[in-house]
Amino acid sequence: MPNRELLYKYWEILYPARDNRKLTDFLSKIQPDHSENTSHLQDWYKDAIVYSLYVDLFNTDFNGLIDKLDYLQHLGVNCLWLLPILDSPMRDAGFDIRNYDRIRADLLELSEHFTKEEQENVFGSFLQEAHQRGIKVIFDIAINHCSDEHPWFVEARKSEDNPYRDYYIWSKDTSLYNDARLLFKGIEDSNWEPNGDGWNFFHRFFNFQPDLNYRNPDVLLSMSESILYWQKMGVDGFRADAIPYLWKEEGTDCENLDNTHIVVKFFRAMLDYVKPGSLLLAEACQKPNEVVKYLGDGDECHASYHFPLMPMMFKAIAAEDGTAIKETLSPAVTPEIPENAQWFTFLRVHDELSLELVYVSEEDRKFIHDNYCHQPEWDFRLGEGVSARLSELMQREVSKIGLAYSLMLTLTGTPVVYYGDEFGKWNDEKYYAEQIKLNGKNDTRFLVRGRIDWQKLENELKNTEGFHSRVFKMISDMLTARKSMKVFGRGKTNFLESPKQILSYTRHLPEEKVLVVNNLSSKPQTYTYPMPDSTLVILHSEGFLMDDTNQDMIFEPHGFGWFGVID
């Protein structure tokens, strides 16, 4: 069915009691851009190496980011995921959006009262510079909620008959939606916030982030308008933040509801209608059998994070046993996804090492928390996570950092590198203290953020024996090796028989095949080469030796090897 017809179909499902004149008026103002054939670009995300960053913390503003594009290109990055850049009071690192069609003035190096034209000149120049280097750009857009300083909400709270009142969810009875779990346990004590006039507004995250009401079609169209504005400017995709919570119904847990999926399908059809090839990335912190529903039949999001794989990689290293990874990636846990879809994998991002029970057991939560929460202040949400940088979780052991990256870069999907992890950035205590003072919330996730001091870093990277330099060389070499073969992003995975301390597997396409062997143990391990009739080509290795006489592969503690296989 053509995308325009799909939009009407989804509209009728969401708003059966309303006519479609608003949708027709909206579409009449849109000019689809099919000036070039983009069919060859529509699954570009399968070959991406994504680098996630906060523009201001990375290098001050967009001009500073332009200055570092050569660094990122040399590192092997071909897609930037910009963490929140839209206008915000910055009480939640920018996830509290104040205007959906405006970038924060400080990131543009403009005055607070800049024009749209000025914004488009600065941000457009950045997009052009990135695209010239073969780097695509996606960014976060929180579509479930906004800031309480958003003009819509400022108007909505003025009176019950304000035109924007129905953009949000209001009640005098705070027992409504009582089955919706408290996402920020230990930080917030209710999903309802008093407005001071006898009414309360509904929120799933911080109390200064009111949830939007998608039962109101004006909300759907307003959000579509904002997304299309950025698509037209040249943004290559959007990370849809917190999408499982979009639609609310009394008597449910308000997660993963049928109409939530219809809203997502609407956004996808809208993007495809205007300009095919724009990525829609689901941030759905759920079990894989729920997450795959956000990929639909290839008609919802193009990709989604594989949240359960992340903690299982940490578990495998701590337990020195790869069973958890094999089980997580088995069809029993991770269903097949549409041919045009992709998993995104990660070790660390801007949030905590999440241990929510939606994808870990109580036993796994305790084991991982006990093995990685090395400092009491790293605890997040009363044992539900650990707030720390990868280097800190691995106790600044270069070999363990490398092993973790070996798993993430060679298992299924598209990898995400969190800014600073390529050189082993540490927790930022100073930034954490600043943010507590600013927003009044003891959010330990600010430990994993913080600024990069480029002058200091450049000096440290000159010391080839130093920690940061060793991590940087190792990770950059791994990214180069990963980028050299399409099989890592597109190939099937086949786990091989091995002792539990060894996790070995092949990735294969008809024209490419690789063997990956990871020593999860803190002790040396010997592994008999499983393909004696094939020729090996070393793509990358750390702590690896080959005993050709006995056909034995010898790995130092936490050593690994990636090998091209020629049959």
Domain membership of residue 204 (yes or no) is: no
Question: Among residues 56, 241, 300, 392, which one is catalytic?
Answer: 241
Give the pLDDT score at 419. Answer: 98
The dihedral over CA atoms of 341, 346, 352, 354, expressed in degrees to the nearest 10, equals: 60
Is 511 a residue of the active site?
no
507 and 393 in a common domain:
no
The count of other CB atoms within 10 Å of the CB of residue 118 is 14
For residue 486, the SS3 value is coil
Is the Cβ–Cβ distance between 317 and 520 less than 8 Å? yes
Q: How many domains does the chain have?
A: 2
Contacts 24+ apart (CB under 8 A), 486-491: 486/47, 486/512, 487/512, 487/513, 487/514, 488/409, 488/410, 488/514, 489/46, 489/47, 489/48, 489/342, 489/413, 489/414, 490/46, 490/47
Is 241 a residue of the active site?
yes
Question: Among residues 92, 148, 188, 283, which one is catalytic?
Answer: 283
529 and 386 in a common domain:
no
260 and 134 in a common domain:
yes
547 and 442 in a common domain:
no
Domain hosting residue 142, numbered range: 45-146+217-483
Last residue of a domain, one of 430, 451, 483: 483
Is the Cβ–Cβ distance between 170 and 193 less than 8 Å? no
From the first residue on, what is the mean pLDDT of each consecutive set of 10 residues in the chain (567 residues)? 93 95 96 68 91 97 98 96 95 93 97 96 98 96 96 96 97 94 87 94 96 98 97 96 94 95 97 94 86 93 94 97 96 93 94 87 95 93 90 97 98 97 95 85 87 96 96 97 95 96 97 97 94 90 88 95 93
Q: 119 φ, ψ to 5°?
A: -60, -45
Burial class of residue 129 in the structure, from the number of CB atoms within 10 Å of its CB (0-12 exposed, 13-18 middle, 19+ buried): middle
525 and 411 in a common domain:
no
CATH number of the domain residue 64 falls in: 3.20.20.80
Q: Is the whole model's pTM more than 0.85, yes or no?
A: yes
DSSP letter, residue 210: P
Give the pLDDT score at 136. Answer: 97
The count of other CB atoms within 10 Å of the CB of residue 121 is 13
126 and 93 in a common domain:
yes
506 and 366 in a common domain:
no
Give the pLDDT score at 205. Answer: 94
444 and 560 in a common domain:
no
Last residue of a domain, one of 459, 483, 507: 483
422 and 535 in a common domain:
no
Give the pLDDT score at 35. Answer: 64
C-alpha triplet 503, 339, 3: angle, nearest 5°:
150
238 and 312 in a common domain:
yes
Strand positions, DSSP E, 143-205: 170-171, 192-194, 200-202
Last residue of a domain, one of 483, 511, 544: 483
Residues paired with 554 in a beta bridge: 526, 545
CA distances from 518 to 175, 188, 503, 562 (A): 51, 41, 5, 9
